[in-house]
Structure 1
Amino acid sequence: MVVQYPPPEIDIPYSLEELQAQVKHNSDNFTAHFYLMCLYAQKGQWEQSLQHALQARRLDYSDVNTHLGTIYAYANLGRWQQAYEAVQASLKLSFDAQAHSALWRVKGDLLVDRYTLTYQKTLLQQALSSYRQAVKRDPTNIQAIVGIARVEIERRAYQAARQRLQKVLSQVRLNEPGGQRRKALVLYYLGVIEEHQGRLKEARRLYREAVRTHPSSFLPFTSAELQGYAILGLLGLKRVQDVQEGPKK
């Protein structure tokens, strides 16, 4: 349900046609490529976003957002290995502590995602190490702290995960950029804990609050669809998906 690699929430001061014209006039226009990377991501056109992310990164290798844009595009295209190789390469560069923290957090997310497909326990330990590196460089990186809680949930350390998330929930500032998404993620994973422990009523309440806080963190479903799925709960949604996909071969 959660969009782990969302498009950037920025206002783009040009139309698609204007940006395309700028690139046609000057193929080395960094700003135009950067905005096209963001605009195509917002449209869910990740292949086009990737093309412009690579161009923007080529033109300004020191801008961590072009690196993150590249990684996010690969991840949304299902190209995990390329996303992982990209984040590994970016971590070797000389960014400031906050930028490195963002990259370490993304590496952790990629590793947890891989774990949910393969169930290789070593991936969880690698993810935990990555999240800790992120927090070490930026103790205010709430998404990295949420990442640590994700690892704890996978390990069924529910009490530790709940305490961590409840503590960080009080630190979220909704008026800051990305604040609503961060709060929604915390609420969502608190809901996951409640559902896994059989407290379905509380889980549903948390899911609904998460959706209301930041609906776009739960695409590709619409907000209305998600409100309906929240009634089923996470495990109920998994059963619906299993039925829709048919038996595993």
Structure 2
Amino acid sequence: MTDNGIWDYPPDAPVVRDGSFTLTVINNPAPHEIQSLPQHDHARAREVAASLVSVAGVAAELGRRRATDRIVHDTRADLEQVRIGCWGPVTEISDPALAYRGGFFPLAEQAEALAEQNPGAAVIGSARIDFSIRYGAWIFIHPGGKHLWAEGWPGDDPWSVEGSVEDILGVFEAHTELDSDFDVDADPSVMDFSEVEDAVLGSLMPIDRRKRLLSTFRVERTQEAAAHLEETWLEE
């Protein structure tokens, strides 16, 4: 268990809320072309984990698990875990440090860093946190230049939005499951950005992920990441 002096809370401090946090990088994206993926590359996954903005170093390898296994973060020590899947052209990152309650946007920072490192890749991701209502942030980066960023609280204003839902669905040739009823011009406070995320990923990777494996690592956090993790997940 890592405790490198940058934390204010002890390792067994309870996490007080739930959420989700994932970024997916797809090299040379082409709609509907990825029908299968190679086996998980553990060595590459370790390299990705070490390169994350929120990570100062990899402290331990915690083994492999199925990509569909539920992510459980019960204590502060669990916030030192990241999961990385590397399947050929696709990299999937699950890191609680991607989520923050607003005012600072680690999801966007990490996504933009990945896009810069992989100039021919699409980067798609989201981070959601359950407070009394669920805060959400979404990002979509297409290598051709189109990009969509949205963050806010459902049903509330103001929202921060850059880019167009219609443009993103168009450039990825993506269609929502509720396409006939989906309003691309809806107000951001009621827009279903998760439906947009599912549509884009489904267009690029229309394959079953239940048999995929990924790697879990315990990492040393940067001081800034530790402070944001404590504020987001541990403070009432």
Same fold (TM over 0.5): no
**TM-score normalised by L of structure 2:** 0.34
Rg larger for: 1
Q: TM-score, normalised by structure 1?
A: 0.33
Q: Of Structure 1 and Structure 2, which has the larger fraction of its residues in strand? A: 2
Structure with more contact order per residue of length (Cα contacts < 8 Å, sep ≥ 6): 2
Looking at secondary structure, tell me which structure has more helix per residue: 1
